[in-house]
Amino acid sequence: MAENDSLTKAPDTPGTLTADCCSAHAETGQHGYSKDKDAHLKRLRRIEGQIRGLQRMVDEDVYCIDILTQVSASTKALQSFALQLLEEHLRHCVAHAALEGGAEMDERVEEATAAIARLLRT
Amino acid sequence: MAENDSLTKAPDTPGTLTADCCSAHAETGQHGYSKDKDAHLKRLRRIEGQIRGLQRMVDEDVYCIDILTQVSASTKALQSFALQLLEEHLRHCVAHAALEGGAEMDERVEEATAAIARLLRT
Amino acid sequence: MAENDSLTKAPDTPGTLTADCCSAHAETGQHGYSKDKDAHLKRLRRIEGQIRGLQRMVDEDVYCIDILTQVSASTKALQSFALQLLEEHLRHCVAHAALEGGAEMDERVEEATAAIARLLRT
Amino acid sequence: MAENDSLTKAPDTPGTLTADCCSAHAETGQHGYSKDKDAHLKRLRRIEGQIRGLQRMVDEDVYCIDILTQVSASTKALQSFALQLLEEHLRHCVAHAALEGGAEMDERVEEATAAIARLLRT
């Protein structure tokens, strides 16, 4: 229902779809990642803790290989977070755009592919 | 001097070489990454700031693609830190082990390769 | 038209949607990657040439670092091919599934995310 | 023995160390990857087969996700090959350079780190 509303309003307010699909209507719970916000914040706080752990390791002259292992774990955690976000984005924003079709859809798919390319290249 | 000491003592205290080469004698400044400790800590604090930035972005319902871009930047920063650490490790610990030769060298090279594999797989 | 046909037939022949969206009706040209088939085959033949080049380099005892550079180029070419395929998949199959909605869409998104995860982990 | 020979000759022919350590004296078998040449060539021929398999898959309109899975497998195989080569390079060339010390060593370590960075960035 609310989803249909946003679809009907979309043509009148071009450009707002972006905000609509992933983030805006926090109160209606129809956007993408916001309903998982708490889980995301928890994940990111754990990663922040890992980075602080890395600082402690460097400060205490821990053996470099052990530090590298911890860097790999943090990178992996960041990639998992990104994949979770991407999955929600595909499920909500890209699907939403598919219903609109045309240029909106093309733009969303190109944008998502570019984001995946950036993740792959890091 | 201290380096020679540790070389002489190594057989008596197996496993301590590890600590020697990269971290232990902070006071002598001959170990690997410790002389770059400040630079490393600065880098890691910047990454910690990026992770906190990600939390803010999630909290403020920023568009997912923009969050993914920031995740890529943080991952890249972590990889750069890892490469810096790895270069110092090769220059100091692996070179040190090369002078000893034999099993010590083999072990260091396998360990470094395993660390690189973990970085590649994340 | 043909697209609607396949939509109508989908419930009767579960599992065929998969084939429909990306590959099956080569004659109608409505599927995903098949219309770009020639470009894909050309890309893959170039990558095959790079792999044969690597064999030549090993055979001629070329310096390892130069071989590693060529491996990186081949890996990059494979990743580019994957991204191209993925973009077409999102544009066609995932969009197609979005029009159907429900479980079909969920399944496609999970499947695409898992494929992206595998690309990231390599 | 032969190894000592190459060390003694190295100063007279600067720059040839590169070729010496990893590839040159195929007949003496003291270089890095050449003694594993057959294993490397076998690996690369298997990867070449995978790339040809990808061409067949595209040609037969196989479902894109299955093609992506095969791309991941090929990329992983290339990365494994690179890690193998890198391990031999560290064991032979970098160790060899460590014995010489100084600029030679610095150059080898920087070169190896740059190669690892390229592998990570793909």
Distance of residue C87 Cα from the nearest chain D Cα, in angstroms: 10
State pLDDT tens for residues B56-94: 999 999 999 999 999 999 999 999 999 999 999 998 888
B112 touches chain A (CB under 8 A): yes
From C27, which residue of chain D is nearest by alpha-carbon distance?
D61
Tokens of B23: 């971290």
pLDDT at D20 over 60: no
Averaged pLDDT, B96-118: 90
Residues 6+ apart with CB under 8 A from A31: A20, A21, A22, A23, A24, A25, A92, B61
Query: Rounded to whole angstroms, how far apart are CA atoms D120 and B121?
Result: 9
Query: Rounded to whole angstroms, how far apart are CA atoms A58 and C100?
Result: 53
D-chain CB neighbours of B86 within 8 Å are 113, 116
B96 touches chain A (CB under 8 A): no
Q: Domain B2-121 carries which CATH code?
A: 1.20.58.1000
Contact (CB<8Å) B55/A68? no
- Residues A95, A97, A99, A101: what is their CA dihedral angle, to the nearest 10 degrees? -130
Distance in Å from the first CA to the final CA of chain A: 40
D4 touches chain A (CB under 8 A): no
Q: ipTM of this model?
A: 0.77
Chosen for mutation from A83, A92, A108 (greatest number of chain C CBs closer than 10 Å) is A83
Contact (CB<8Å) A75/B78? yes
State pLDDT tens for residues D34-61: 668 999 999 999 999 999 999 999 999 9
- CA neighbours within 13 Å on the CB side: how many for D73? 15
State pLDDT tens for residues B44-57: 999 999 999 999 99
Percentage of chain D surpassing pLDDT 70?
70
Check if the beta carbon of residue B83 is closer than 8 Å to that of residue B42.
no
Place D69 in a pLDDT band, splitting at 50, 70 and 90: very high
**pLDDT reported for residue B9:** 34
pLDDT at C23 over 60: no
CB pairs under 8 A between A and C: 60
Task: Report which of residues C113 and B3 the model is more confident about.
Answer: C113
CA distances from C69 to C99, D6, D63, D78, D113 (A): 44, 26, 32, 12, 12
Q: What top-level class would CATH report for the domain D33-121? A: mainly alpha
**pLDDT reported for residue B32:** 52
Task: Report which of residues C114 and B8 the model is more confident about.
Answer: C114
Place B22 in a pLDDT band, splitting at 50, 70 and 90: low
pLDDT at C16 over 70: no
Task: Report which of residues A31 and A12 the model is more confident about.
Answer: A31
Averaged pLDDT, D81-110: 89
A117 touches chain C (CB under 8 A): yes
Chains contacting A with at least 3 CB pairs below 8 Å?
B, C, D
From C72, which residue of chain B is nearest by alpha-carbon distance?
B120
From chain D residues 43-72, the ones with a CB under 8 A of any chain C CB are 44-45, 47-48, 51-52, 54-55, 58-59, 61-65, 67-69, 71-72
State pLDDT tens for residues A23-56: 443 444 444 566 689 999 999 999 999 999 999 9
Side chain identity at residue B60, one-letter code? E
From A122, which residue of chain D is nearest by alpha-carbon distance?
D121
Q: What is the mean pLDDT of chain C?
A: 79
Place C10 in a pLDDT band, splitting at 50, 70 and 90: very low
Closest CA to B108 of D98, D60, D55, A95: D98
**pLDDT reported for residue A97:** 87
Chains contacting D with at least 3 CB pairs below 8 Å?
A, B, C
Query: Rounded to whole angstroms, how far apart are CA atoms A75 and A79?
Result: 6
Contact (CB<8Å) D122/A121? yes
CATH superfamily of domain region A37-121:
Metal-sensitive repressor, helix protomer (1.20.58.1000)
Chosen for mutation from C120, C121, C122 (greatest number of chain A CBs closer than 10 Å) is C120
Task: Report which of residues C13 and B90 the model is more confident about.
Answer: B90
Query: Rounded to whole angstroms, how far apart are CA atoms D86 and D40?
Result: 12
pLDDT at C24 over 50: no
